[in-house]
Structure 1
Amino acid sequence: MNGLSVRTKLTAWYGGLFLLAGLVLVVINYLLVQSALPDPDRAATMAIRSADAVYGIQGNTIIGSPGATAQLLTGSLDEYRSSTLSTLVVGSAIALVATAGLAVLFGWLMAGRALRPLHDITSAARRLEAGKLDRRINLDGPPDELKELADTFDGMLDRLAESFDSQKRFVANASHELRTPLAVQRTLIEVALAGPEVPPEMRKLGTHLLHTNERSERMIEGLLVLARSDRGLQSRVPVRLDEVVATVVRATSAQAASAGVKVETRLRPRTVPGDPVLLERLVTNLVVNAITYNASGGWVYVEVRGDPALEVRNSGPVVPPEAVPTLFEPFRRVGSERTGDSRNAGLGLSIVRSVAQAHGGYAEAQPGRRGGLVVTVRFPPA
């Protein structure tokens, strides 16, 4: 943390103001005591006059001269006055230092108590994520400024959570509603192309429409999965991640062989509490992306271990480092426009990141040393 904390600054202010007030009090006390003590010269003169009057009435003579007597009395009173003021200053300084230390200590404790609600607000804000807006501060206490701030923050979180839920429901409902017309459209095109008398131009157009329809269906399916994972997990079951990877690799072996890509695995037992369907989709997206964005004769290496839980490396074209963060954004690809690549819908890594976050983990990527990409997924310990 740069600079002094607010608690330290408040403590310094408390201690400094108390020390200043104590110094003013000591000076005032010193002046009052100094004015209350008798003046040595005046007190000696008055004492000699009183003694002359007493001895004059009794008819006696004073032994010694009046000047020597006055000097002796003045010295004694001056010593008493100096000793009293010195004792006052030393005692006041010691008391001031001790009380200032106690003031700093109590100031530190009181500042911490006063700032505790702010720490609760800061902690709640740090734990917030787009998919986890269920945390609230619920500050107890008198209706002061801090209570008002905490309640305002809770109200803002309620509105944000409602807005995010509404957005996710809209995406899920819209994606679900779009699946039916796309399926009907695909069926109509296939029926139209099944006839023996279809002209070549019409067959070419129908084939292109089928590819476009297939891409739209993949995009809608990806949006549904993305909306589901963004909502969070309703329940968790133990999932063997290594077994999921083995199943996905077997299912994509034909695609890898067709692309001329060799897939190798190194699987250690690893259990992840979560949703088996979403975890399988995460692994599928990573393996399919590694096969699709590769070169003939390339390779894909999939490893399951402790930390990271999953790592997928592949050969392929060189990926610029500055382009890696954008790969986790929806509809973003390297080296192509938003609609320039019909192999995938551009949601693969977005779904990977969303599923990982729904399971309390995260996904990250970095360029391979000789091209391709290295994607790692980390999950909390089982």
Structure 2
Amino acid sequence: MTVTVFPRTERGRLTAVYGSLLLLAGGGLVALVYVLLGQGLYASVSGVVSTVSPALRAGERVDVDPGRSAEPARTRAPGEQPSPEQLKSYALTRNLSDAVTEATQHRLLVVSLIALAVFAVLSIWLAWWMAGRVLRPVAVITGTARRLSGENLDERIALDAPPGELKQLADTFDAMLGRMEHLVSAQRRFAANAAHELRTPLAVQRAAAEIGLAGDPSPERVATIRAKLIGVADSSEHLIESLLLLAVSEEGLESTERVDLAALAAAELAACPQPGLTVERTLAPLTVTGDRTLLGHLVRNLLTNAVRHNRAGGRLALTTSAEGELTVSNTGPVIEPADVPRLLEPFRRRAERQHTAGEGAGLGLSIVASIARAHGAELTARANPAPDGGLTVRGRFPAVQVRPDSRRQGGVQPR
């Protein structure tokens, strides 16, 4: 069995690292002081002791070097030998200096080791406390993440700390929670709205079959109920196709090709009914890379939405630019700017649904937004001011520029 000695928690690891570094620094400091003091201690002690020796009282100078012989150096005549009393005094001085030096070094070592032990305990405690302070935001983030579920995504860390890496981490986590809450709410709302939209035509079909065909209905009544059922079935089929298209666009693009978006927009505009509307078209050359079918749905949904929510004698404008922009603008009811972002969500309408003929399911602009995301396009929508009203939707695509020398060969160059 393998025994792990190293701490298993980040706080324990930080404590071990900080404590080891502090102990290493303290031990190095003690060793340095001991070595440096030991090198000059003997000379200092010898000088002090020699000042009270009998030899110096007679005016003699003693110069003792621990690395040399104990024979003293003094000022005397050439060839003069020290007397026995002088040698005895020098030996006594040397022995006394050695004893004092050894005792001082021993005392210094004992005191230093005791101080280092106290310093070790204090440093480990400080390292443990400091590691806890540093890692407190991480503990808060971990606790919040453990408490999170689909029911309390509105909870935030809201870390109260000075600016730094951990503060940035907590703020990033809060931003991620906000996006998750928005996505989960949108998913729940989408599921509820889809169930409601699919349940309504089923209820109408059931009521028509049970009530309209009860008893012995006349041929005229049967024809009316038949037309009603066919209309409801067509509406349900359109809704299901829209949901499938939305799902496909959310999955991304499986294959791409170069698409002349200006020509595609012109074809969709020609196929779109424009009853009593003034149409303005400015179609500059625009080539993009993407799925032709999905791009056709994008333009078709924009035009259908612009026609459906227009007013009698209103205006519809379709524009493409070489900068990669596709713009559809229409007149119509005045829309509050705060309500515009909601119109890009599934099953969101400016007004409550009346379940009348030709009324959409509220998926048109959400499909447009999904297809634009799949193509890397930036989609923006803004409400037109009164009195014209209506909506302007602009998609900015990563355009593909056609080089002049390659037009005949169909070559293109990404912008």
Q: If the length of structure 1 is used for normalisation, what is the TM-score? A: 0.52
Change (3 A) 1:352 1:16: farther
Query: Do the aligned residues in 2 keep the contact of 1:308 with 1:376 (CA within 8 Å)?
Result: no
1:273 counterpart (260, 279, 289): 289
Shift of 1:307: 4.1
Q: How does 1:175-190 map to 2 (within 5 A)?
A: none
Is 1:238 equivalent to 2:258 in the alignment?
yes
Q: Distance in 2 between matches of 1:24 and 1:277?
A: 75
* Pairing partner for 1:336 from 352, 355, 364: 352
Whole-angstrom distance in 2 between the partners of 1:21 and 1:307: 64
> Displacement of 1:33 after TM fit?
1.8
Q: Which has the higher contact order (CA 8 A, sep 6+)?
A: 1
Task: Quote the residue 1:350 is aligned against.
Answer: 366
Distance in 2 (CA, whole Å) between partners of 1:372 and 1:353 is 18
2:255 is paired with a residue whose SS is coil
Q: Classify 1:308/1:333 alpha carbon distance in 2 versus 1 (closer, same or farther; 3 Å).
A: farther
Give the 5 Å matches for 1:167-178. none
Tell me how many residue pairs correspond in the alignment.
241
What amino acid sits opposite 1:30 in the alignment?
V
Q: Please, what TM-score do these two structures have when normalized by structure 2?
A: 0.49
Is the CA contact (8 Å cut-off) linking 1:365 and 1:376 kept in structure 2?
yes
Match for residue 391 of structure 2 among 368, 373, 376: 373
Aligned CA-pair RMSD: 4.3
Q: CA deviation at 1:372?
A: 1.1
Q: Given residue 82 of structure 2, which amino acid in structure 1 is its aligned partner?
A: Q
Counterpart Cα distance in 1 of 2:349 and 2:357: 8
Contact 1:229–1:358 under 8 Å retained in 2: yes
Q: 1:209 to 1:59 in 2, by over 3 A?
A: closer
Contact 1:331 1:338 in 2 (8 A): no
SS of corresponding position for 2:376: coil
Secondary structure of the structure 2 residue equivalent to 1:344: coil
Structure 2 distance, partners of 1:241, 1:41, is 95
Q: State how 1:1-382 maps to structure 2 within 5 Å.
A: 22=25, 25-26=28-29, 28-38=31-41, 42-44=45-47, 46-47=49-50, 49=53, 58-59=82-83, 198-199=219-220, 201-252=221-272, 255-257=273-275, 260-337=276-353, 342-370=358-386, 371-382=389-400
Write the letter of the residue equivalent to 2:242. Answer: G
Question: Greater helix percent: which structure?
Answer: 1
- Please list every run of 5 or more consecutive structure 2 residues that lacks an aligned counterpart in the other structure: 1-16, 57-70, 75-79, 94-190, 192-197, 210-217, 401-415
Query: Any stretches of 5+ residues in structure 1 without a counterpart?
Result: 1-13, 71-170, 172-177, 190-196
Q: Which has the larger radius of gyration?
A: 2
Q: Distance in 1 between matches of 2:257 and 2:362?
A: 29
After the TM superposition, which of the residue ranges 52-61 and 338-347 deviates more from structure 2?
52-61
One-letter code of the match for 1:291?
V
Report SS of the residue matched to 2:399. Answer: coil
Amino acid at match of 1:320: E
